[in-house]
Structures are given as C-alpha cells and as structure tokens.
Amino acid sequence: MNIKLVVVGKLKEKYFKAGIDEYSKRLSRFCKFRIIEVPDEKAPESLSESEMQDVMDKEGTRILDKIADKEYVYALAILGKERASEEFAKEIDKLATYGHSDITFVIGGSLGLAPKVLKRADTQISFGRFTLPHQLMRLVLTEQIYRAFMINEGSPYHK
C-alpha cells in the first residue's frame, strides 16, 4: 500500500519534523509513506476575495499536479466528515481490500483548499472544527494513519 500526504508549504519546526519522522519510520512496516510538499503562494496579509481565490487556485493546481487518477483522495477540510479512529481504521482496511492501494491525503494552505481540489477528493475528512496550524495537522494526521494500522493489527497501541 502507498500512502502519500500532499501538503502546502514547508515544515519548519524541528519538533514537528521529529514527530513526523518517528511515525513515518513506524509506518514503514505497513506501507510506503511519503510526504510531498508543494510551494505555498506568497500573499500579503490582507487579500480581497478574488485574490484569496487566486491564491487557492494556484496552490490547488500544484496539489492536483501531484495526484494521479488512480489515487483515492482524502481532503482535510473543516466541513468534512469527522470519524472516530476505529472508523478511520476500518475505512483504510476496506480501501486496501477493495483495490485502492494508493491513498493520498491533502492538507491545503492557510486559506484552505481550492474548490477543484475538494471536487477531486473522493472524501473529505475533518479532525474537528478547531483551526490547527498546518504543520501540527501533518503530525496529527501521520499519527492517526499509524494508529489506523495498529488498530487493524489488533495492537494495544490504540488503548
């Protein structure tokens, strides 16, 4: 199984990188896991609605360039469906069982995801209505993917 994160922007904080590296290493026994960073669009602090749409559109094009047609795509979106860890684990297991061996998760930039990215997604997932820094979300998502594999394995890690 191949699991990929397509994310906007670079990971800056060393402590996030260390956590993600640890979970990536743990995930290596279950899947090929990788993170692809696409550049964020530089923008001033205050943007008009059309400028915001332009920024999201440019970032969206960069994201879509990294996704193949055969990939099953989860878009992280505040309005997406919330799942319990066990439910998420069952989804991952079911996808693998029914021929979706390439799964991609997308984390947008500070303005969110362009409509064209949400349209391409097979499903939207939410980790709640909190706004979290995108770098922290990478760590949380990576841990939850690892947790899903551990649940599916019947490991006590989840408890």
- pLDDT (average), residues 14-38: 97
Instruction: Report if pTM > 0.85.
Output: yes
Q: Do 72 and 6 form a contact (C-beta atoms < 8 A)?
A: no
- pLDDT (average), residues 105-113: 94
Q: What is the CATH number of the domain that holds 46?
A: 3.40.1280.10
Q: Domain containing 84: what range? A: 2-158
Q: Map residue 147 onto helix, strand or coil.
A: helix
pLDDT at 56 over 90: yes
What pLDDT sits at residue 43? 81
What pLDDT sits at residue 10? 93
Q: Do 9 and 35 form a contact (C-beta atoms < 8 A)?
A: no
Structure tokens at 143: 């841990």
Residue 76, annotated as binding a ligand: yes
Q: Do 134 and 20 form a contact (C-beta atoms < 8 A)?
A: no
- pLDDT (average), residues 108-133: 94
Residue-averaged pLDDT of the chain: 95
Angle (CA) 94-97-103 rounded to 5° is 70
Q: Report the DSSP pairing between strands 72-82 and 32-38.
A: unpaired
- pLDDT (average), residues 124-139: 91
What pLDDT sits at residue 154? 95
Nearest Cα residue to 109 out of 54, 72, 50, 48: 54
Residue 132, annotated as binding a ligand: no
Return d(Cα 68, Cα 86) in angstroms, integer: 28
Count of domains for the chain:
1
